[in-house]
């Protein structure tokens, strides 16, 4: 067991991009669908945890090409349209329920396959019978090592490649049904009928919607069975962004309630109407007083002026009830949480454990822990908030929270511990066995820590091809900053002026052309970072248009014009406010005069250099013809805002350094600058 972790309260509002991992349920479903698609699917935002690694390894052992980059969160998978390269394999599914069920149904598509499957001790005890019975009825055989019919792991699966009209008992787990639904389109004329009822309906819904996203929508026939009216291989997705885990996101929606003030936590890719039922937590949070701002597929958790008491039914998204239960102790009135009976048989008896820990903090709950222990049928919890009680209990020092090998206790009480109870930053909560978060969120505490920052402005100046863009983008990605490429601003205006046929020597025409432009900003994803792109009449310009030989030849001349620079200065400075409003931890702006003119008071100012040969080589490797020295000459000798190393800036020659080293070096400076004072 890992030693207890003392939680340090936040003394400044939380700010930055919450690094929420991808959803496990979506990652493992999407991997199966991509393997059954015709062609290459590339995933972004994938979760890498034990369960998803097991499925990836299993697919590889079956002959699939799966390339995973755990740091970038990307997976590239070549789907074979329903063909499984190896018809013999040994597969171990660990204790991963999704991998166990999904793979078993997947293998059934192999004509004349013989697969030996096994799992951990715990997995051997988990329900598989309903799925194996359904497959057996379709002609497969699942045999124990002694040759008798199997109802669970281990077993050898002899397959026929045909499904037919299946019936499945999925009362024990909806995954038994989901597994069959995903292979259904690959076997024309097949159908799946549910015997009785199943649990966790939202997950069946998620499976069906994913099948649709991969080009094979499922439908319900009049008798209630599932069918695919246009069967065939799934359609590969050039890029498929896996939604961040909605349950994990709930902790960061709650965080501003405890850090107070005008916090700003960005949840990239978090949107209601996605595949996960747990996004409903956002509605409860809003009802309790959270100010949440949706913005183009991102949710910004801004503040909780008050945590309002009330009565809430968590039945359909019960994994998130713990998130509210902990911050409920800070509410303005009692918080009643209903619909959580089934959570009494999850990782632990969650209702009893929550009541126990809240009572240990001095908080009154109803029913009490003793009553819950005596009566297993009690199914709700009312929490009576009292900061005074918390202060009394914690006066002697931090209270150690038991986590019951349940990741959700560790995470929800860590959020509460981030509250500055005594107003002096004194810790008052410690989390026992903090590593239990690895089940779904291995980097939870780092993600929490990353939001304890001051807004930081980083300027990166340097000549053409000095490595500004790659460095800035990577810094933006790693530190939750908004990336702004001011070179692209000059390029956009150059393109617009050339389009308008303006003579670059005629200041009058240039001014009048500029005055007609409607410039704005749009947040875009660019190479893993979030960038702000300049828009003209609402539309950003394609990168290819910004780097034509004509633009390359004219841009330095345009950038030397005082009228152009004045025109852009306020716009560029306004990007700082944009970054702040959008919840970024800061801004990284690259160009020639950022540290000297645009943001001379930036907390971190960097001047990048590299030898001319190295820079020309980099441009050539990017496939661009660019007169690096000629442009440098124009940029450094112009009268207005020439390219110089700003006084006091950190000068960094990267000729002989890797990008990773440069980013790490600057990262250290950013971390110090971002430390709350």
When the beta carbons of 447 and 514 are compared against ligand DC, the nearer one is: 514
When the beta carbons of 279 and 466 are compared against ligand DC, the nearer one is: 466
Q: At what angle do helices 549-559 and 486-499 cross, to 10 degrees?
A: 110
Query: Interacting stretch for ligand DC, rule CB under 6 A, among 363-371, 431-439, 574-582, 589-597?
Result: 589-597
When the beta carbons of 243 and 461 are compared against ligand DC, the nearer one is: 461
The minimum distance between CB 582 and ligand DC, in angstroms, equals: 22
Which one of residues 635, 662, 666, 674 is an interface residue with ligand DC (CB under 6 A)?
635
When the beta carbons of 231 and 600 are compared against ligand DC, the nearer one is: 600
Question: Which residues, other chains included, contact 612 with Cβ-Cβ below 8 Å and sequence gap of 6+?
Answer: 628, 629
Which one of residues 29, 92, 457, 592 is an interface residue with ligand DC (CB under 6 A)?
592
Q: How far apart are CA 472 and CA 454, in angstroms?
A: 19
Burial class of residue 116 (count of CB atoms within 10 Å of its CB; 0-12, 13-18, 19+)? middle
* Residue the block writes with tokens 């995973």: 68
Count of CB atoms within 10 A of residue 676's CB? 12
Residue 63 phi/psi, 5-degree rounding, is 100, 5
The minimum distance between CB 486 and ligand DC, in angstroms, equals: 4
Site for ligand DC in 256-285 (CB under 6 A): none
Distance of CA 196 to the CA centre of its chain: 36
Segment 217-222 long-range contacts (CB within 8 Å, at least 24 positions apart): 218/181, 218/184, 218/185, 221/191
The minimum distance between CB 525 and ligand DC, in angstroms, equals: 19
When the beta carbons of 114 and 517 are compared against ligand DC, the nearer one is: 517
Is 543 part of the annotated catalytic residue set? Answer: no
User: Radius of gyration over alpha carbons of the chain, in Å?
Assistant: 28
Q: How far apart are CA 66 and CA 535, in angstroms?
A: 38
When the beta carbons of 405 and 613 are compared against ligand DC, the nearer one is: 613
Q: How far apart are CA 505 and CA 561, in angstroms?
A: 9
- As a 3-state breakdown, the chain gives helix, strand, coil percent values, each rounded to 5, of 40, 20, 35
Tell me, letter by letter, the H, E, C secondary structure of 584-627: CCEEEEEECCHHHHHCCCCCEEEEEECCHHHHHHHHHHCCCCCC
The minimum distance between CB 359 and ligand DC, in angstroms, equals: 59
What DSSP string runs through 519-586? EEEEEEEETTEEEEEEEETTEEPPHHHHTSHHHHHHHHHHHT-HHHHHHHHHHHHHHHHHHHHTT-SE
Q: How far apart are CA 279 and CA 129, in angstroms?
A: 32
Which one of residues 243, 420, 432, 593 is an interface residue with ligand DC (CB under 6 A)?
593
Q: What is the largest CA-CA distance in the chain?
A: 91
Query: Are the C-beta atoms of residues 501 and 617 closer than 8 Å to each other?
Result: no
Site for ligand DC in 528-567 (CB under 6 A): 555-556, 559
The minimum distance between CB 111 and ligand DC, in angstroms, equals: 56
The minimum distance between CB 464 and ligand DC, in angstroms, equals: 5
The minimum distance between CB 628 and ligand DC, in angstroms, equals: 9
Residue 190 phi/psi, 5-degree rounding, is -90, 160
When the beta carbons of 225 and 640 are compared against ligand DC, the nearer one is: 640
When asked if residue 379 is in the footprint of ligand DC (CB under 6 A), the reply is: no
Query: Are the C-beta atoms of residues 55 and 28 closer than 8 Å to each other?
Result: yes
Residue 155 phi/psi, 5-degree rounding, is -155, 160
Closest CA to 14 of 415, 435, 475: 415
Q: How far apart are CA 482 and CA 579, in angstroms?
A: 6
Helices (H), 314-383: 321-327, 350-360, 369-374
Question: Which residues, other chains included, contact 436 with Cβ-Cβ below 8 Å and sequence gap of 6+?
Answer: 2, 403, 405, 406, 407, 409, 410
Site for ligand DC in 469-508 (CB under 6 A): 486-487, 490-491
Which one of residues 152, 307, 631, 654 is an interface residue with ligand DC (CB under 6 A)?
631
Query: Interacting stretch for ligand DC, rule CB under 6 A, among 46-54, 239-247, 341-349, 592-600?
Result: 592-600
When the beta carbons of 266 and 473 are compared against ligand DC, the nearer one is: 473
When the beta carbons of 260 and 591 are compared against ligand DC, the nearer one is: 591
The minimum distance between CB 635 and ligand DC, in angstroms, equals: 5
The minimum distance between CB 465 and ligand DC, in angstroms, equals: 7
Which one of residues 134, 285, 464, 484 is an interface residue with ligand DC (CB under 6 A)?
464
Query: Are the C-beta atoms of residues 467 and 475 closer than 8 Å to each other?
Result: no
Give the interface size with ligand DC as a residue count (CB under 6 A): 14
The minimum distance between CB 555 and ligand DC, in angstroms, equals: 4
- Could you say which of 133, 169, 319, 420 is catalytic? 319
When the beta carbons of 487 and 520 are compared against ligand DC, the nearer one is: 487
Q: Which residues are catalytic?
A: 319
User: Footprint of ligand DC on this chain (CB under 6 A)?
Assistant: 464, 486-487, 490-491, 555-556, 559, 591-594, 631, 635
């Amino acid at each position: 067991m890992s030693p207890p972790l003392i939680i340090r309260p936040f003394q400044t509002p939380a700010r930055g991009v919450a690094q929420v991992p991808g959803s496990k349920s979506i990652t493992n479903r999407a991997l199966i669908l991509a393997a059954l698609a015709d062609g290459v699917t590339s995933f972004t935002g994938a979760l890498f945890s034990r369960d998803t690694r097991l499925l990836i390894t299993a697919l590889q052992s079956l002959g699939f090409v799966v390339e995973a980059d755990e740091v970038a969160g990307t997976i590239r998978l070549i789907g074979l349209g329903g063909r499984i390269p190896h018809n013999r394999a040994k597969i171990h599914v660990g204790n991963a329920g999704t991998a166990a069920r999904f793979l078993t149904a997947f293998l059934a598509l192999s004509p004349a396959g013989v697969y030996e499957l096994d799992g951990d001790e715990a997995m051997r005890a988990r329900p598989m019978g309903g799925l194996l019975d359904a497959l057996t009825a379709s002609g497969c055989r699942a045999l124990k090592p002694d040759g008798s019919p199997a109802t669970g792991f281990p077993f050898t699966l002899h397959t026929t490649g045909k499904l037919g009209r299946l019936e499945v008992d999925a009362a024990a787990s909806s995954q038994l049904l989901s597994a069959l639904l995903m292979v259904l389109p690959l076997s024309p004329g097949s159908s799946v009928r549910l015997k009785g009822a199943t649990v966790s309906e939202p997950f069946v819904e998620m499976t069906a919607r994913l099948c649709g996203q991969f080009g094979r929508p499922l439908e319900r026939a009049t008798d209630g069975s599932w069918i695919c009216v246009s069967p065939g291989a799934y359609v590969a997705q050039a890029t498929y962004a896996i939604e961040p885990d909605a349950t994990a996101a709930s902790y960061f929606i709650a965080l501003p309630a405890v850090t107070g003030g005008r916090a700003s936590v960005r949840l990239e890719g978090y949107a209601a109407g996605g595949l996960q039922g747990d996004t409903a937590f956002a509605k409860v949070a809003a009802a309790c007083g959270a100010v949440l701002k949706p913005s183009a597929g991102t949710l910004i958790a801004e503040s909780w002026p008050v945590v309002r008491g009330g009565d809430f039914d968590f039945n359909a998204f019960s994994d998130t009830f713990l998130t509210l239960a902990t911050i409920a102790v800070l509410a303005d009135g009692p918080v009643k949480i209903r619909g959580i009976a089934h959570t009494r048989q999850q990782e632990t008896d969650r209702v009893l454990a929550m009541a126990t820990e809240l009572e240990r903090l001095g908080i009154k709950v109803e029913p009490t822990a003793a009553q819950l222990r005596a009566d297993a049928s009690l199914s709700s919890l009312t929490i009576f908030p009292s900061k005074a009680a918390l202060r009394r209990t914690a006066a002697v020092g931090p209270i150690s929270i038991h986590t019951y090998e349940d990741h959700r206790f560790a995470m929800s009480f860590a959020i509460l511990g981030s509250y500055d109870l005594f107003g002096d930053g004194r810790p008052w909560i410690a989390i026992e066995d903090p590593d239990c978060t690895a089940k779904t969120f291995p980097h939870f505490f780092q993600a929490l820590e990353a939001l304890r920052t001051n807004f930081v402005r980083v300027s990166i100046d340097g000549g053409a091809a000095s490595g500004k863009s790659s460095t800035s983008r990577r810094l933006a990605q790693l530190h939750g900053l908004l990336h702004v490429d001011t070179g692209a601003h000059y390029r956009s205006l150059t393109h617009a002026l050339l389009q308008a046929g303006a003579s670059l020597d005629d200041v009058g025409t240039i001014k009048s052309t500029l005055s007609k432009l409607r410039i704005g900003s749009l947040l875009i994803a660019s190479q893993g970072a979030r960038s702000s792109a300049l828009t003209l009449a609402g539309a950003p310009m394609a990168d290819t248009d910004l780097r034509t030989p004509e633009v390359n030849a004219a841009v330095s001349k345009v950038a030397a014009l005082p009228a152009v620079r004045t025109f852009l200065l306020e716009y560029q400075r306004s990007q700082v406010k944009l970054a702040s409003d959008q919840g970024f931890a800061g801004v990284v702006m690259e160009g020639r005069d950022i540290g000297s003119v645009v943001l001379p008071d930036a907390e971190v100012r960097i001047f990048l250099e590299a030898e001319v040969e190295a820079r020309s080589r980099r441009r050539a490797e990017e496939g661009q013809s660019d007169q690096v020295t000629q442009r440098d000459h124009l940029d450094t000798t112009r009268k207005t805002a020439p390219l110089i190393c700003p006084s006091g800036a950190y000068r960094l020659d990267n000729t002989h350094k890797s990008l990773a080293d440069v980013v790490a070096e600057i990262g250290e400076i950013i971390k110090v600058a971002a430390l709350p004072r």
